[in-house]
Structure 1
Amino acid sequence: MVTPVNRRTVLLAAGAGAAAGLSLPVTAARAHGRTGAKVGFTLNARVLDGGEQIVSITLGATRLGPIDPASLTTGTFAVHARATSPIPIAEGDQIFSEYDVDRPVTAIRLDRRGDIVLDLAYGEGQVGGGTLGYILSRGRNVRLDLAYTITQTAPIRRRDGRPVSIASFVQGKLLNPEVDAFSHHVSRSGMKYRLYTPDRRGAHGPRPVVVWLHGGGEGASLRDDYYDNETTLRANRGALGFATPEAQRIFSGAYVVVPQSTSFWMEDGSRFAPLIREIVAEVARRHPVDERRVHVAGCSNGGYMSLKMTTVYPRLFASSVPVCGIVASLTPGGPQLITDAELAGITTPTWLITSRDDPTVPPEPNTIHAHDLIPRSLMTLYDQVVWNGHRFNGHWSWIYLARNDPSSNGTRVWQWMAARRR
């Protein structure tokens, strides 16, 4: 039988939800009248260090007339959320992070337009707010189908004192400004990618490029043609970090390119390398790119691919930052994925990052071994992964790169990258 697991261990990509509508309970409707209004709402998401969550809901209330904010309390509306897999789950398989829960409303307010905003309880490790599910047998994240149901449970009033009741609520888009700032693209070879374009106002000259290579969970889900071009941005802040105002200031405005594997990078790094190179060339043709300042970074499977790219294209990148990258086979007795000779031959400036307590990619035969062989490489080795007081899985050391935490002799990793030239 299918075993849904309601916990949020791996958290990624979001899906647009289906329409959800509920009438106001009859007793409440009779008590304060009915307008028969149908109100649409959006789901507002944020990518935390552990993945994307729905953090608030905006009700399109401006059409109801000016609402008296004094009539709004956290008990005015109830929110229920259901998240299910977008693809069938095989019998006996598991999907992590499906849920069917009530979402507590922690605050309610009117925004500048006069729409009603419901702030929801959310946080690292909290079940019931994520937008992604992890299918165990595939080792992949998928965008969950989200269905939110809203019920008005108490009266609200207009500023003129007239009562307002809402007959139904219709679910609309999922909005995440950081994710939505990346445009969708497909290369000529069919590889999907997302692209952040820096602000060109007041800028002169070509811009650098940061290529972010995702982990294994964010590639296409095998055997079912699930290939969404979404999970790469919603699973963690790896790519988003480089599009923040802080990073953009450090890099003087950078394009951020996020290719998505049609399976997983380690399946065939030599085959994927030219496809990634094609995307870089495509961006360079269409935008004012400084080809002396093309950087590559990636986590886990993408950490492997970051190293692989510098062995295949030794003169392409100004810097490489592999995070918890894979060098040795994770299967006992398997072949070395990147040979010692290849590592020793890397000439691209390289900064490796990992955590000693990584339970997925052991640091010694991978990051530490690579650091010993790559000439003049830097390495940041954490004891564990902790951010804002929350301890994460030790494999998630990409959180540190996304927050520009690693440093060497007083120089942080983003500044180090930005200073490199090919």
Structure 2
Amino acid sequence: MATPFSRRTLLTAGAGAAAGLSLPGVAAYAGGQTSRVGFTLDALVLDGGEQVTSITLDTARLGPIDPATVTTGTFSVHAKASSPIPIAPGDVIFSEYDLDRPVTAARIDRRGNIVLDLSYAEGQVGGGTLGYIVSKGRNVQLDLVYTITQNAPFALRNHRPVTISGFQQGRLSNPEVDAFSYHVSGSGMKYRLYSPTSRSAGRGKRPLVVWLHGGGEGASLPDNYYDNETTLRANRGALGFATAEAQKIFSGAFVVAPQSTSFWLEDGPRFAPLILEIIRDLARRHPIDLDRIYVAGCSNGGYMSLKMTTIYPEVFAASVPICGVVASLQPGGPVMITDAELARISTPTWLVTSLDDTTVPPEPNTIHAHDLIADSEMTLYDHVIWNGHQFPGHWSWIYVARNDPSINSIHIWEWMRKQRR
């Protein structure tokens, strides 16, 4: 009879392996042995956000396993994801789930651990690590509870059968996200930092890419929620600049992703000096070339990228505002960036958006900014489609994260690299 066990782990900033949990033993299959093992949730950030794509069982210590005895039916996986903060009556959170995760493959990794590959895909329900709370306009990192059920014994190479008596959930592992270290500025703004490896970095000082997140990735301080996680897990915006491809193009770049205490549009002029404080502190502590500091961001962050160049015209070598907000947020309200401010921008600027963006319509925002910013470049897509999957029109940051925009055969990362303050 299959016996399920579960272990809850809160996916908080810097969380390590979950604390031990006492579990009752179960009878082994005849002639078998029992043992408890931990497991890791392995995740990838897809273009549509992070998903748990496999589970690694810590079985290496049991001895060499016969891979022929581990199949997709050996274990079953159930996943439950819930909000880390209370949801008010009548409010809605997208992407919570409580379901079975199909096991698509079972294998032994080079360390001797059993890896259960799970079904996942862009737009697939279940498996995501973030939920979106409608009333707050925030992505939050979901509390994940994974339950592993062993349906049949597997065997070691000495033919001894093994039945695992208990499972203990550990950390969420995502090498791309984990490569960004955790920091807090002197003013209290949290940020993540990618530092180039010696293999990717050139000699001398390195460029710095500043990634400014969208509105959904800020904190929710009234709920005591400030995770320093969603900026990297919601999309590949910052991660794209830390890939091997980008690091080769930039000859090794630092990438910093500050997290707003709310959302950049709430008060751009107040947030601007807090972002600059982080940049200056990084330049003091790391070999950063002050002539090669680039700012890029999406939606709220697209607005903030433009705002930074209006307030600090001498700081940045280039700016990449993606589907950035320029016009009023409400009919008849004040514009977020005035025509006079746009006309004064002297920083080389490449704007990106999609014509089917209904969240931040291109005409009064990106296209209007392009008309006023002298010598600016602009890429307009018809739709946001990547690897055959069509995303909402607002998600044009996917293209920048993949170095797709190009003009005269020069792609956007190469263009950024060529710019100097």
Q: How far apart are the structure 2 equivalents of 1:371 and 1:287?
A: 34
CA deviation after TM superposition for structure 1 residue 333, in Å: 0.6
Which residue identity does 2:314 align to in structure 1?
R
Which residue identity does 2:164 align to in structure 1?
I
Asked if 1 retains the 8 angstrom alpha-carbon contact of 2:18 and 2:171, the reply is: no
Asked if 1 retains the 8 angstrom alpha-carbon contact of 2:34 and 2:162, the reply is: no
- After superposition, residues 143-154 of structure 1 pair within 5 angstroms as 143-154=141-152
1:240 partner SS: helix
1:352 partner SS: strand
Which residue is equivalent to 2:416? 417
Which residue is equivalent to 2:376? 377
1:332 partner SS: coil
Asked if 2 retains the 8 angstrom alpha-carbon contact of 1:24 and 1:166, the reply is: no
2:342 partner SS: helix
Write out per-residue CA displacement over residues 327-370 of structure 1, whole angstroms, 9 at most, x where no aligned residue: 00121111011000000000000000000000100000000000
Which residue is equivalent to 1:7? none
Q: How far apart are the structure 2 equivalents of 1:117 and 1:42?
A: 10
CA deviation after TM superposition for structure 1 residue 154, in Å: 1.1
Which residue identity does 1:265 align to in structure 2?
W
Structure 1 residue 386 corresponds to structure 2 residue 385? yes
Write out per-residue CA displacement over residues 252-311 of structure 1, whole angstroms, 9 at most, x where no aligned residue: 100001000000000000000000000000110110000000000000000000000000
Which residue is equivalent to 1:248? 247
Structure 1 residue runs of 5 or longer lacking an equivalent are 1-12
Cα 1:397–1:301 change in 2 (3 A) is same
Q: How far apart are the structure 2 equivalents of 1:18 and 1:102?
A: 22
Q: How far apart are the structure 2 equivalents of 1:415 and 1:64?
A: 49
CA deviation after TM superposition for structure 1 residue 224, in Å: 1.0
Which residue is equivalent to 1:54? 52
Which residue is equivalent to 2:358? 359
4+ residue segments displaced more than 4 Å: 13-26
Q: How far apart are the structure 2 equivalents of 1:33 and 1:126?
A: 41
TM-score of the superposition, structure 2-length normalised? 0.94
One of 157, 160, 181 as aligned partner of 1:159? 157
TM-score of the superposition, structure 1-length normalised? 0.94
- After superposition, residues 164-203 of structure 1 pair within 5 angstroms as 164-201=162-199, 203=202
Which residue is equivalent to 2:212? 213
Which residue is equivalent to 1:63? 61
Asked if 1 retains the 8 angstrom alpha-carbon contact of 2:15 and 2:171, the reply is: no
Which residue is equivalent to 1:300? 299
Which residue is equivalent to 2:395? 396
Asked if 2 retains the 8 angstrom alpha-carbon contact of 1:15 and 1:143, the reply is: no
Structure 1 residue 110 corresponds to structure 2 residue 108? yes
Cα 1:24–1:236 change in 2 (3 A) is farther
Which residue is equivalent to 1:4? none
Write out per-residue CA displacement over residues 133-190 of structure 1, whole angstroms, 9 at most, x where no aligned residue: 1111000011100010101101201101111110001001110000000000000000
Which residue identity does 1:192 align to in structure 2?
K
Q: How far apart are the structure 1 equivalents of 2:186 and 2:86?
A: 30
CA deviation after TM superposition for structure 1 residue 34, in Å: 4.5
Percent sequence identity is: 72
CA deviation after TM superposition for structure 1 residue 372, in Å: 0.3
Cα 1:22–1:353 change in 2 (3 A) is farther
Q: How far apart are the structure 2 equivalents of 1:107 and 1:24?
A: 27
CA deviation after TM superposition for structure 1 residue 200, in Å: 2.5
Which residue identity does 2:354 align to in structure 1?
S
CA deviation after TM superposition for structure 1 residue 199, in Å: 1.0
1:165 partner SS: strand
Asked if 2 retains the 8 angstrom alpha-carbon contact of 1:24 and 1:153, the reply is: no
Q: How far apart are the structure 2 equivalents of 1:341 and 1:394?
A: 28
Asked if 1 retains the 8 angstrom alpha-carbon contact of 2:83 and 2:96, the reply is: yes
Q: How far apart are the structure 1 equivalents of 2:24 and 2:98?
A: 20
Which residue identity does 2:47 align to in structure 1?
D
Which residue is equivalent to 1:281? 280
Cα 1:370–1:407 change in 2 (3 A) is same
Aligned residues: 407
Asked if 2 retains the 8 angstrom alpha-carbon contact of 1:139 and 1:216, the reply is: yes
Write out per-residue CA displacement over residues 49-94 of structure 1, whole angstroms, 9 at most, x where no aligned residue: 0000000000010121111111011000000001011111111111
- After superposition, residues 32-111 of structure 1 pair within 5 angstroms as 32-111=30-109
Q: How far apart are the structure 2 equivalents of 1:49 and 1:17?
A: 27
Structure 2 residue runs of 5 or longer lacking an equivalent are 1-12
1:127 partner SS: coil
Asked if 2 retains the 8 angstrom alpha-carbon contact of 1:134 and 1:141, the reply is: yes
Which residue identity does 1:421 align to in structure 2?
R
1:223 partner SS: helix
1:249 partner SS: helix
Asked if 2 retains the 8 angstrom alpha-carbon contact of 1:17 and 1:148, the reply is: no
Q: How far apart are the structure 1 equivalents of 2:38 and 2:328?
A: 50
CA deviation after TM superposition for structure 1 residue 203, in Å: 3.4
Asked if 1 retains the 8 angstrom alpha-carbon contact of 2:345 and 2:373, the reply is: yes
Which residue is equivalent to 2:223? 224
Structure 1 residue 350 corresponds to structure 2 residue 349? yes
Which residue identity does 2:33 align to in structure 1?
T
Q: How far apart are the structure 1 equivalents of 2:370 and 2:202?
A: 37
CA deviation after TM superposition for structure 1 residue 225, in Å: 1.9
Asked if 1 retains the 8 angstrom alpha-carbon contact of 2:26 and 2:165, the reply is: no
Q: How far apart are the structure 2 equivalents of 1:358 and 1:59?
A: 42
Q: How far apart are the structure 1 equivalents of 2:191 and 2:368?
A: 31
Q: How far apart are the structure 1 equivalents of 2:132 and 2:124?
A: 15
Which residue is equivalent to 2:9? none
Asked if 2 retains the 8 angstrom alpha-carbon contact of 1:45 and 1:174, the reply is: yes
Q: How far apart are the structure 2 equivalents of 1:164 and 1:53?
A: 30
User: Comparing 352-361 with 193-202, which one deviates more in the overlay?
Assistant: 193-202
Asked if 1 retains the 8 angstrom alpha-carbon contact of 2:80 and 2:98, the reply is: yes
Which residue identity does 2:389 align to in structure 1?
H
CA deviation after TM superposition for structure 1 residue 248, in Å: 0.3
Asked if 2 retains the 8 angstrom alpha-carbon contact of 1:385 and 1:392, the reply is: yes
Q: How far apart are the structure 2 equivalents of 1:114 and 1:242?
A: 33
1:248 partner SS: helix
